[in-house]
Amino acid sequence: MDWKNIVIDESTTYLLQRLDDKLAKLNQSRPLPAAALNRIKDELAMEWTYNSNSIEGNTLTLQETKLVLQDGITVKGKPLREHFEAVNHHDAVDYIESIVRPNYKINERDVLHTHALVLDKIEKDFAGRFRNAGVRITGANYTPPNALKVYDYIHDLMQWVNEESGGLHPIIRAAVFHHRFVWIHPFFDGNGRSVRLLFNLLMMKHGFPPAIILRNDRKKYYAALNKANEGDYQKLFLLVCQAMERSLDIYLSNLDNYAENYKPISNIVNEGLVSYGYSQEYISLLARRGEIDAYKEGRVWFTTQEAIYDYVKGRKRMRKTRS
């Protein structure tokens, strides 16, 4: 598996351009009102903690996570470990945000410190320490490398991400880093939560908000990592891009007249809005593939009439080119 030889398909290139355009729109609107900015950051940090822990099996709901973090309340019937996981992850988010700056170079110390925060109060014997024995990952299509190779692989990954990957888009670089880190599996526990923090550092230093992998996409997420193990990164690129688009849209929704243009796909079709005869299922498929500007809340996809129109225009251009 040559993880350094990255191929980006046409649909991913289109997606990245759309994300760059949205980031540019957001940057042009800065500074956002301080109250709105702080509220969005707090909400995303809460969602980040809830979703990342939930992917790993934590049963706290989003509302319970907020109670634990904002009010220090112990939720009846939930294990104490799950409360610590929420507090730990939130502390780790604070750490990542504290070191973000444009020219920051991630290093082994960041990896170990982030992991130490993730496992603090839970598994102190292993927190912030690379594994010293073999491991197996349930559901994965490979076996992680020998523990003796972990440090060298992590060092090589740091060298690649800081010095050798300059030609890659920041989101692609972060996605490849994410996969390679999980492939190395440097710790006995806490690998997923740690890498979902660290790979966001790589994007946030370029001005992007954190990309939050949602708990509802857990199966899709693991399937994408397994495909990357086979050398095919396209599903992982799509998943990360869609997570980033959702975060960008959350910020942009605070701009005048931005959010009101987005409607559930079912509404666009059922209300006879501009859908060009496409069915709800087909437009939803385009959204899942990243071929139209769309984002998902829960299990509902939202898009705009303009996004569908742009897709139709693009199809017409392609037909003319081929003819």
Close Cβ partners of 13 (under 8 Å, ≥ 6 residues apart) = none
Residue type (1 letter), 190: G
Q: Are 274 and 309 in contact (CB under 8 A)?
A: yes
DSSP 274: S
185 is catalytic: yes
Q: What are phi and psi for residue 293, nearest 5 degrees?
A: -70, 115
Say if residue 132 is exposed, middle or buried (CB neighbours under 10 Å; 0-12, 13-18, 19+): exposed
Instruction: Determine the Cα–Cα distance for residues 22 and 254; give it in Å rounded to an integer.
Output: 13
Instruction: Determine the Cα–Cα distance for residues 64 and 53; give it in Å rounded to an integer.
Output: 13
Q: 């009101």: which residue's tokens?
A: 260
Chain centroid offset of residue 147 CA: 27
Instruction: Determine the Cα–Cα distance for residues 282 and 297; give it in Å rounded to an integer.
Output: 18
Q: Which of 83, 169, 185, 206 is an active site residue? A: 185
Token digits of residue 136: 């197996």
Closest by CA position to 211, among listed 248, 158, 182, 170: 248
Token digits of residue 53: 């822990």
Instruction: Determine the Cα–Cα distance for residues 121 and 57; give it in Å rounded to an integer.
Output: 18
CA atoms within 13 A on the CB side of 194: 28
Residue type (1 letter), 231: G
Q: Which residues are catalytic?
A: 185
